[in-house]
C-alpha cells in the first residue's frame, strides 16, 4: 500500500507514528498508561481510510460504547463524515448487530430479546424452583456465574457433562445438578427467543464456525482490517471469534491489537492475560510497538508504578517514562482506625483544594471493595464536600423504567417470558401468581412460550377473560410498532397499559419522582428517534423499537455516567480503569484487603492484585495519596492488618511520609486513641533474608497446607507464608490470635483473626 504524507502524523512521537503507519499484517501495540493509546488507535483508522481502505472494511472493537463514540468523533475530525461508515462498537453491540441479520441460521429469531442480568437470574431461579433444589445450596448468583464461565470458555451443556473437572468441582460444592440447570437454561432462552450477554459472543462464534462457506467468508471479506482496543481485557471466547474473522487462506491477517498486559485486571469476568502474552506466538510475523512515554503523570508516580509492576513475573517487558519531572512526592497516611482514615482523607482533600485550587471533580478516592465507601461518605458529608458514588443504581435498572421496557420488549418479541411475567399483572388486572405458575407449567409441558400458551391452549382459569384482554393489548402494541417509530410506540404503551395513570395517582414525592423517571425514559426514546448519527456500518439509522431496546440493553456503566457535576468521585479500583484525575487517593492499603485475602494463596492472583494497584497508581496526574489503617471492622469484627506488601515495593525516593494528625488534643488521634508519635518511613521495606526462623520464604507455596482455624491453640508453632515461623501466645474469645514471629524485625508480635489467617501448624523441630 502506497503511503502518502499526512499532517496529523506530525502530532505523534516516533513510536506512535510507526504504530499508525504500519498498515499491513498483524500489529501489537503495547500501550502503557497515559501513553496516547486512543490517539494511536483513531489515527490508525484515519490513516487506513486516507490510504484507500473503504471505511466499511474496517472493524474496531471496544469495551464501552463511549469509547467507540469518542473514537468515531476523533476519526471524523481527520477524514470527515466517512468515519460514520466505520464499524466501531463494543464486542456485544457489533455482534448483536450481525446476529440481527443472521440469527435465523442458528435457530434464533432475528428479533431476539437480549436478557440482562436480572432476566437471567429470574430464569435460573425458576429452574431451581421447578427442580425442587435448595436455593441456599444452588445459589442463584453462583449458578449464573458458572454458566457464564462455561459459555466464555466455549463449553456447551453437552461438553460440560463430559468435563470431569467441572463435574467434580460441582460435586465438591454440593451442586451436582448444575449441568442440568445449564441445559434447561439454554433451552428456556432459546424457546423465549432470547440471548443473554454471553450468548451474544457464544452465538456469534457458532454462527461463524458452523457457516464457514457463507457467513464466515462474508464477514472475513467485509472486515479486511480488524482493530481491538483494550485487548488485555478479552476472554478466551472473544479471542476465538477474532481468530475466526482473521484466520483464513490468502488473508493478510490485518489485525491490530492495542492493550497493556500490566492493566489486565478482569479475570473475575473471564478476561485472561494469556491472550496478550501469547499473541506473538499466534501471529509470528507480528510487528510490536511499545508506547512507553507517559504524558499523564509526574515522575514520582511513574517511577513508583514501575517499581511495583516489576515484581510481577508474567509480563511483557517495558519501562514507562515521563518528561514531567515536576510534581509532589507520593503522600502516605497511616491511621489507627478506618474511621480515622476517612477523616484524614477528607482533611487532605480540603487542604489540596485550598493549596492547589483543585475542583471536586478532579479528585477521586479509590478502594478495593465497594463496602469501604461508607466511612469516606460520612466524613465528606460532614465537611460538606459534594461527592458521587460511581457505579450506583443504573437509570435503566429502576422499577418503573423496567416495567415500561418490559411492555416494549414483549411488543418486539412476544416469546419473551421474563417480560411477560413482569407485566401480566402490572398494573393490576386480577391475574395472580397461581395463574402464572399454571401457565408456566403448561409452557414447560408443551415447550411453548407463555404468550404461545395463552393464545393457543384452552386455559381453565377464572382470569381467562383478563388474560385475553392482556393479549389484545400486546397485539395492539405490535400493530402500532409496525407502523410507527420507537417513541410513538413507547408513548402508546405507557398510556394503553395504564402505567402513566397509575404513577400519576401517586402524589407522594417518591411517586412524582417515578413519573419524572418515566418521562425521562420517553425523552431518551424521543432523542434516539430524532438523532441522525449513524450506527456502526449502517447506511441509514434504524429507529425501530428493537434497535432502541438493543441500544440501551448493551450500555455499560461508563456509558451511563453523567458528566459536568463538580463532585469528588468514589469508586472501586476496577471501575477506575481508563479514567484519570489530578488527585487520587488509594485507600485501605492493608494485607487481606489490598491485596485481597482471597488472593494470598495464589501467585497468579497476587500478580493480578498488583496490576490492580498499578492501575490505581497510574490514574493520578499530579497528586497521589496512599492510606491504610491498622484496624478496621470487617464482617462485623475488628481486624488488625499489616500494611499492604505493595507499599513495601515503592522506594522511599518517591514517598513523602505524612505524620499522624492529632486533631483530638495533644498525643491523641481523631479516634481518641494514643497517636503513633514519630512515624516511620514506609518506603523501601526490606524483605527478610531466608533464615532458620524465616521458613516461609524458603518453602514452595505449593507445599504450604493451611490448618483448620479451630485446631490452632495457644503454645503451638505455626507457619505463615509472609511472616515465617511463629508461636501462638494466646487466642481470645473472638478467635483473634496473638502470635510472635521471631523472623520479623519490626513489630514481631501480630494479632491475627484465625478465620482469615492461613496458618500451618508445624512440629517443634521444624
Grid cell at residue 467: 388474560
**124-138 tens-digit pLDDT:** 999 999 999 998 889
Contact 648, 685 (CB under 8 A): yes
Q: What does the angle CA 337 – CA 375 – CA 637 come to, to the nearest 5 degrees?
A: 55
Contact 85, 253 (CB under 8 A): no
**276-295 tens-digit pLDDT:** 999 999 999 999 999 999 99
CA distances from 256 to 79, 135, 227, 237, 495 (A): 20, 46, 5, 18, 49
Q: Which of these, 61, 41, 32, 27, lies nearest to 280 by C-alpha position?
A: 27
Residue with cell 509470528: 284
Burial of 733 (C-beta count, 10 Å sphere; 0-12/13-18/19+): exposed
d(CA 352, CA 336): 23
At 531 the pLDDT is 67
- Of 116, 196, 229, 649, which residue is the catalytic one? 229
- Of 18, 38, 328, 755, which residue is the catalytic one? 38
Contact 97, 536 (CB under 8 A): yes
- Whether 619 sits among the annotated catalytic residues: the reply is yes
Q: Which residues contact 327 (CB under 8 A, 6 or more apart)?
A: 298, 299, 300, 301, 622
Average pLDDT over residues 419-434: 89
d(CA 61, CA 46): 15
Burial of 168 (C-beta count, 10 Å sphere; 0-12/13-18/19+): exposed
d(CA 384, CA 765): 59
Is the pLDDT assigned to residue 157 strictly greater than 70? Answer: yes
Read off the pLDDT band of 263 (50, 70, 90).
very high
- Of 64, 203, 232, 263, which residue is the catalytic one? 263
Highest-scoring range by mean pLDDT, 113-117, 183-187, 593-597: 183-187
d(CA 627, CA 588): 6
Beta bridge partners of 113: 194
d(CA 557, CA 565): 17
Highest-scoring range by mean pLDDT, 320-324, 517-521, 582-586: 582-586
Grid cell at residue 571: 469508586
At 79 the pLDDT is 86
- Of 151, 619, 639, 645, which residue is the catalytic one? 619
SS3 298: coil
At 162 the pLDDT is 94
Q: Provide the 10 A C-beta neighbour count for residue 13.
A: 13
d(CA 358, CA 387): 14
At 397 the pLDDT is 75
At 522 the pLDDT is 86
Phi-psi category of 634—alpha, beta or left, where left has phi over 0 and alpha has psi -120 to 50?
Answer: beta
Read off the pLDDT band of 395 (50, 70, 90).
low
**164-176 tens-digit pLDDT:** 999 999 999 899 9
Average pLDDT over residues 414-420: 92
- Whether 368 sits among the annotated catalytic residues: the reply is no
Q: Which residues contact 43 (CB under 8 A, 6 or more apart)?
A: 8, 9, 11, 12, 16, 20, 78
Beta bridge partners of 88: 60
Residue with cell 506530525: 10
At 405 the pLDDT is 93
- Whether 156 sits among the annotated catalytic residues: the reply is no
- Of 102, 198, 230, 642, which residue is the catalytic one? 230
Is the pLDDT assigned to residue 486 strictly greater than 50? Answer: yes
Going by DSSP bridges, is the β-strand pair 637-640/620-634 parallel, antiparallel, or unpaired? antiparallel
At 677 the pLDDT is 31
Average pLDDT over residues 432-455: 87
d(CA 493, CA 474): 9
d(CA 726, CA 47): 63
d(CA 573, CA 586): 8
- Of 37, 44, 85, 639, which residue is the catalytic one? 37
Helices (H), 84-196: 91-102, 117-130, 140-152, 157-162, 164-172, 178-191
Question: In sequence order, what DSSP letters do the residues of 367-387 get, joined into one string?
Answer: ESSGGGHHHHHHHHHHTT--E
**Between 664 and 496, whose confidence is greater?**
496
Going by DSSP bridges, is the β-strand pair 749-753/568-572 parallel, antiparallel, or unpaired? unpaired
**How large is the C-alpha radius of gyration of the chain?**
29
Q: What does the angle CA 674 – CA 679 – CA 682 come to, to the nearest 5 degrees?
A: 130
At 735 the pLDDT is 78
Give the DSSP letter of residue 285: T
Contact 255, 283 (CB under 8 A): yes
Q: Find out whether the peptide bond into 263 is cis, omega within 30 degrees of 0.
A: no
CA distances from 636 to 247, 420, 709, 734 (A): 54, 41, 18, 11
At 63 the pLDDT is 87
**3-state SS string for 540-591:** CCCCCHHHHHHHHHCCCHHHHCCCCCCCEEEEEHHHHCCCCEEEEEECCCEC
Grid cell at residue 362: 478532579
Average pLDDT over residues 408-428: 92
Average pLDDT over residues 544-559: 74
Read off the pLDDT band of 3 (50, 70, 90).
very low
Q: Which of these, 564, 618, 575, 558, lies nearest to 359 by C-alpha position?
A: 564
Average pLDDT over residues 251-267: 90
Grid cell at residue 13: 512521537
In whole numbers, what is the pLDDT of the chain averaged over residues?
84
Highest-scoring range by mean pLDDT, 32-36, 529-533, 633-637, 726-730: 32-36
Average pLDDT over residues 53-74: 88
Contact 281, 252 (CB under 8 A): no
- Whether 229 sits among the annotated catalytic residues: the reply is yes
**Between 312 and 679, whose confidence is greater?**
312
**Between 236 and 669, whose confidence is greater?**
236
d(CA 272, CA 323): 32
Phi and psi, residue 578, nearest 5°: 95, -5
Give the DSSP letter of residue 668: B
**Between 458 and 308, whose confidence is greater?**
308
Average pLDDT over residues 674-678: 31
At 499 the pLDDT is 92
At 691 the pLDDT is 36
**67-122 tens-digit pLDDT:** 888 888 888 888 888 888 999 999 999 999 999 999 999 999 999 999 988 899 99
At 542 the pLDDT is 66
d(CA 583, CA 606): 26
d(CA 461, CA 468): 11
Is the pLDDT assigned to residue 45 strictly greater than 90? Answer: yes
**Between 382 and 405, whose confidence is greater?**
405
- pTM score of the predicted model: 0.73
At 298 the pLDDT is 95
Residue with cell 457458532: 206
Is the pLDDT assigned to residue 560 strictly greater than 60? Answer: no
Amino acid at each position: 500500500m502506497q503511503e502518502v504524507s499526512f499532517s496529523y502524523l506530525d502530532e505523534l512521537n516516533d513510536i506512535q507514528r510507526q504504530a499508525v503507519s504500519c498498515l499491513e499484517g498483524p500489529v501489537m501495540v503495547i500501550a502503557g498508561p497515559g501513553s496516547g493509546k486512543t490517539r494511536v488507535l483513531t489515527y490508525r483508522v484515519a490513516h487506513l481510510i486516507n490510504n484507500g481502505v473503504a471505511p466499511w472494511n474496517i472493524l474496531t472493537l471496544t469495551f464501552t460504547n463511549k469509547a467507540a463514540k469518542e473514537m468515531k468523533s476523533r476519526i471524523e475530525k481527520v477524514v470527515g463524515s466517512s468515519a460514520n461508515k466505520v464499524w466501531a462498537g463494543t464486542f456485544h453491540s457489533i455482534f448483536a448487530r450481525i446476529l440481527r441479520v443472521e440469527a435465523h441460521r442458528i435457530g434464533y429469531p432475528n428479533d431476539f430479546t437480549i436478557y440482562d442480568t436480572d432476566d437471567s437470574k429470574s430464569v435460573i431461579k425458576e429452574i431451581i424452583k421447578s427442580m425442587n433444589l435448595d436455593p441456599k445450596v444452588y445459589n442463584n448468583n453462583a449458578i449464573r456465574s458458572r454458566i457464564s464461565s462455561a459459555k466464555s470458555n466455549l463449553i456447551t451443556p453437552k461438553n460440560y457433562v463430559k468435563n470431569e473437572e467441572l463435574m467434580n468441582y460441582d460435586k465438591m460444592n454440593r451442586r451436582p445438578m448444575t449441568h442440568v440447570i445449564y441445559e434447561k437454561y439454554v433451552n428456556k432462552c432459546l424457546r423465549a427467543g432470547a440471548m443473554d450477554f454471553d450468548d451474544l459472543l457464544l452465538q456469534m462464534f457458532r454462527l461463524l464456525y458452523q457457516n464457514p462457506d457463507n457467513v464466515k467468508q462474508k464477514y472475513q471479506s467485509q472486515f479486511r482490517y480488524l482493530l481491538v482496543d483494550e485487548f488485555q481485557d478479552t476472554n478466551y471466547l472473544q479471542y476465538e471469534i477474532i481468530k475466526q474473522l482473521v484466520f483464513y487462506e490468502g488473508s493478510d491477517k490485518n489485525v491490530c491489537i492495542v492493550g497493556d498486559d500490566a492493566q489486565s485486571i478482569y479475570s473475575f469476568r473471564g478476561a485472561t492475560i494469556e491472550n496478550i502474552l501469547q499473541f506473538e506466538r499466534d501471529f509470528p510475523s507480528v510487528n510490536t510497538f511499545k508506547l512507553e512515554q507517559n504524558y499523564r503523570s509526574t515522575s514520582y508516580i511513574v517511577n513508583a508504578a514501575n517499581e511495583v509492576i516489576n515484581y510481577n513475573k508474567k509480563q511483557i517487558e517495558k519501562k514507562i517514562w515521563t518528561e514531567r519531572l515536576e510534581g509532589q512526592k507520593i503522600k502516605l497516611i497511616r491511621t489507627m482506625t478506618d474511621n480515622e482514615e476517612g477523616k484524614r482523607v477528607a482533611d487532605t482533600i480540603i487542604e489540596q483544594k485550598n493549596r492547589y485550587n483543585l475542583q471536586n471533580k478532579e479528585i477521586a478516592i479509590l478502594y478495593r471493595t465497594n463496602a469501604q465507601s461508607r466511612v469516606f461518605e460520612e466524613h465528606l458529608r460532614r465537611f460538606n464536600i459534594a461527592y458521587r458514588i460511581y457505579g450506583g443504581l443504573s437509570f435503566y435498572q429502576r422499577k418503573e423504567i423496567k416495567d415500561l421496557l418490559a411492555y416494549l420488549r414483549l411488543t418486539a418479541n412476544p416469546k419473551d417470558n421474563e417480560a411477560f411475567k413482569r407485566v401480566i399483572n402490572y398494573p393490576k388486572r386480577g391475574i395472580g401468581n397461581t395463574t402464572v405458575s399454571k401457565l408456566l407449567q403448561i409452557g414447560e409441558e408443551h415447550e411453548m412460550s407463555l404468550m404461545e400458551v395463552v393464545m393457543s391452549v384452552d386455559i381453565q382459569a377464572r382470569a381467562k377473560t383478563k388474560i385475553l384482554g392482556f393479549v389484545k393489548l400486546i397485539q395492539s402494541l405490535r400493530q402500532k410498532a409496525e407502523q410507527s417509530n420507537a417513541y410513538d410506540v413507547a408513548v402508546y404503551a405507557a398510556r394503553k397499559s395504564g402505567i402513566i395513570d397509575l404513577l400519576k395517582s401517586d402524589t407522594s414525592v417518591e411517586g412524582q419522582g417515578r413519573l419524572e423517571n418515566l418521562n425521562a425514559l420517553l425523552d431518551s426514546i424521543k432523542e434516539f428517534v430524532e438523532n441522525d448519527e449513524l450506527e456502526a456500518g449502517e447506511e441509514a439509522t434504524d429507529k425501530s423499537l428493537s434497535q432502541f431496546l438493543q441500544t440501551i440493553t448493551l450500555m455499560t456503566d461508563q456509558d451511563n455516567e453523567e458528566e459536568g457535576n463538580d463532585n469528588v468521585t468514589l469508586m472501586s479500583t476496577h471501575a477506575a480503569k481508563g479514567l484519570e484525575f489530578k488527585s487520587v487517593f488509594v485507600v485501605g492499603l492493608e494485607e487481606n484487603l489490598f491485596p485481597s485475602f482471597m488472593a494470598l494463596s495464589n501467585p497468579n492472583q497476587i500478580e493480578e492484585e498488583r496490576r490492580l494497584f498499578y492501575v490505581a497508581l497510574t490514574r493520578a496526574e499530579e497528586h497521589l495519596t496512599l492510606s491504610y489503617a491498622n484496624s478496621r471492622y470487617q464482617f462485623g469484627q475488628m481486624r488488625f492488618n499489616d500494611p499492604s506488601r505493595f507499599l513495601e515495593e515503592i522506594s522511599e525516593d518517591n514517598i513523602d511520609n505524612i505524620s499522624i494528625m492529632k486533631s483530638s488534643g495533644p498525643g491523641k488521634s481523631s479516634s481518641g486513641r494514643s497517636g503513633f508519635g514519630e512515624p516511620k518511613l514506609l518506603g523501601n521495606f526490606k524483605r527478610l533474608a531466608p533464615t532458620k526462623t524465616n521458613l516461609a520464604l524458603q518453602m514452595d507455596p505449593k507445599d504450604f497446607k493451611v490448618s483448620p482455624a479451630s485446631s490452632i491453640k495457644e503454645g503451638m508453632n505455626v507457619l505463615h507464608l509472609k511472616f515465617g515461623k511463629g508461636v501462638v501466645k494466646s487466642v481470645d474469645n473472638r478467635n483473634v490470635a496473638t502470635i510472635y514471629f521471631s523472623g520479623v524485625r519490626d513489630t514481631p508480635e501480630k494479632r491475627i483473626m484465625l478465620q482469615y489467617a492461613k496458618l500451618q501448624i508445624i512440629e517443634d523441630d521444624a
